[in-house]
């Protein structure tokens, strides 16, 4: 199955869709968010993604997280400016909505897909409302089990929306290497019959590359212009240089993976002729002579009959003189 996000197709052996997760790394500053967009484009991302929220939608004013979220807010008007800036930079603009109002805003901004955060996978009212807008739904599955994933998928399909991408993720920051569990990518695809991606929260750049080799159709990676900036996600994010290397390696892995068909590759054709054998005359065989086993060998190159026909050649007569070392062909015998 393949799903279209803007001008990109995701799934069904299409190129891996790479998202630079700017998230809240803008620290509430529009100018920094714009730098994230331009740097993400230069680093090879297909899309850049942020998070659309008001602190009041995420946490109680009495919560210790409220002040943090308040500092990391962008005005809804600023998101419009960011969407326009991303369009001018020729990179797809995405954002994760954390409320109905955020969904409405992103619809106005004509985002091509919705990303549901792992924490909201079980927030069925939000999932259903976003899905009702008929945009592709990218759902992260950190902390979830298969039953919870199925419930979220059912909620999306209930709205008539079948455009679903499942993101394997582990909601630990950073994710311990022994808990990455990339083997589940194949399992999720087989069980839910949808494209599957990987949302990476770790520091090891090898992990998302292996995720692609494991079949991931989409990769999301935290992105910042400088890991030394203040903010909760900066240290676990990739800088432009590392992200560019990651994107390059993902494209290399795509080429390595090829297609699911075993065949002789173009680069092998010459070696196929040189390395394989054919039925060869070990001695000169005069015209009319009946060929016996002692007259034949199996030698390189593969310019005559394949070895599997060896027994069929024995007992045949030479239609013309066959010289020693010559590869035998059907038109030489009868």
Q: Is residue 1 predicted with pLDDT exceeding 90?
A: no
Report the alpha-carbon angle 308-314-315, nearest 5: 150
């027994």: which residue's tokens? 311
Count of other CB atoms within 10 angstroms of residue 171: 15
Q: Angle at which helices 100-108 and 124-131 pack, to 10 degrees?
A: 20
Residues 8 and 25: their CA atoms lie apart, in Å, by 25
């100018």: which residue's tokens? 31
Q: 271-319: per-residue pLDDT in tens? A: 999 999 999 999 999 999 999 999 999 999 999 999 999 999 999 999 9
CATH class given for the domain over 266-332:
alpha beta
pLDDT at 192: 98
Per DSSP, helices labelled H in 141-236 are: 146-158, 184-192, 206-213
Q: 90-141: per-residue pLDDT in tens? A: 999 999 999 999 999 999 999 999 999 999 999 999 999 999 999 999 999 9
CATH superfamily for 3-257 is Aldolase class I (3.20.20.70)
Phi, psi angle pair for 54, to nearest 5°: -115, 145
Q: How confident is the model at residue 27 (pLDDT cuts 50, 70, 90)?
A: very high
What pTM value is reported for the model?
0.90
DSSP 3-state assignment of 1? coil
pLDDT at 28: 96
pLDDT at 123: 98
Q: Is residue 260 predicted with pLDDT exceeding 90?
A: no
DSSP secondary structure string, 190-254? HHH-S-EEEEE-SS-THHHHHHHHTT-SEEEEEB-S-TTSSSTTSTTSBPHHHHHHHHHHHHHHH
Q: How confident is the model at residue 160 (pLDDT cuts 50, 70, 90)?
A: very high
Domain boundaries along the sequence of the chain: 3-257, 266-332
Whether the Cβ atoms of residue 139 and residue 130 lie closer than 8 Å to each other: no
At a CB cut-off of 8 Å and minimum separation 6, what does 47 contact? Answer: 5, 6, 8, 17, 18, 19, 20, 91, 92, 93, 94
Q: Is residue 58 predicted with pLDDT exceeding 90?
A: no
Q: What is the mean pLDDT of the chain?
A: 96
Percentage of the chain with pLDDT > 90? 95
DSSP 3-state assignment of 101? helix
Q: Residue 238 forms beta bridges with which residues? A: 223
pLDDT at 117: 98
Q: Residue 133 forms beta bridges with which residues? A: none
Token pair, residue 198, equals 């990987």
More reliable by pLDDT, 57 or 314: 314
pLDDT at 259: 84
């Amino acid at each position: 199955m393949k799903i279209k996000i803007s001008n990109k197709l995701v799934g069904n052996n299409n190129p891996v869709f790479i998202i630079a997760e700017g998230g809240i790394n803008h620290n509430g500053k529009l100018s920094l968010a714009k730098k994230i967009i331009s740097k993400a484009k230069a680093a090879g991302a297909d899309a850049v993604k942020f998070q659309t929220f008001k602190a009041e939608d995420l946490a109680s004013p009495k919560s210790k997280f409220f002040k943090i979220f308040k500092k990391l807010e962008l005005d809804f008007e600023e998101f419009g400016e960011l969407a326009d800036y991303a369009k001018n930079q020729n990179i797809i603009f995405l954002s994760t909505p954390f409320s109905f109002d955020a969904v409405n805003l992103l619809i106005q901004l004509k985002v091509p897909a919705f990303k549901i955060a792992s924490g909201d996978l079980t927030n069925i009212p939000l999932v259903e409302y976003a899905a009702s807008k008929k945009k592709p739904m990218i759902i992260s599955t950190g902390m979830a089990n298969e039953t919870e994933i199925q419930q979220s998928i059912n909620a999306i399909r209930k709205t008539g929306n079948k455009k679903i991408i499942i993101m394997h993720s582990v909601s630990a920051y950073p994710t311990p290497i022994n808990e990455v569990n990339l083997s589940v990518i194949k399992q999720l695809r087989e069980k839910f019959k949808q494209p599957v991606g990987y949302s990476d929260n770790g520091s090891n750049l090898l992990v998302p590359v292996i995720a692609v080799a494991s079949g991931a159709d989409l990769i999301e990676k935290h992105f910042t212009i400088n890991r030394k900036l203040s903010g909760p996600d900066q240290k676990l994010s990739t800088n432009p240089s590392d992200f560019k290397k990651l994107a390059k390696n993902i494209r290399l892995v795509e080429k390595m993976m090829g297609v699911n068909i075993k065949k002789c590759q173009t680069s092998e054709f010459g070696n196929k002729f040189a390395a394989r054998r054919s039925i060869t005359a070990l001695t000169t065989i005069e015209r009319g002579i009946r060929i016996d086993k002692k007259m034949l060998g199996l030698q390189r190159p593969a310019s005559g009959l394949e070895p599997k026909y060896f027994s069929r050649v024995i007992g045949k007569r030479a239609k013309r003189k066959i010289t020693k070392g010559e590869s035998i062909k059907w038109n030489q015998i009868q």
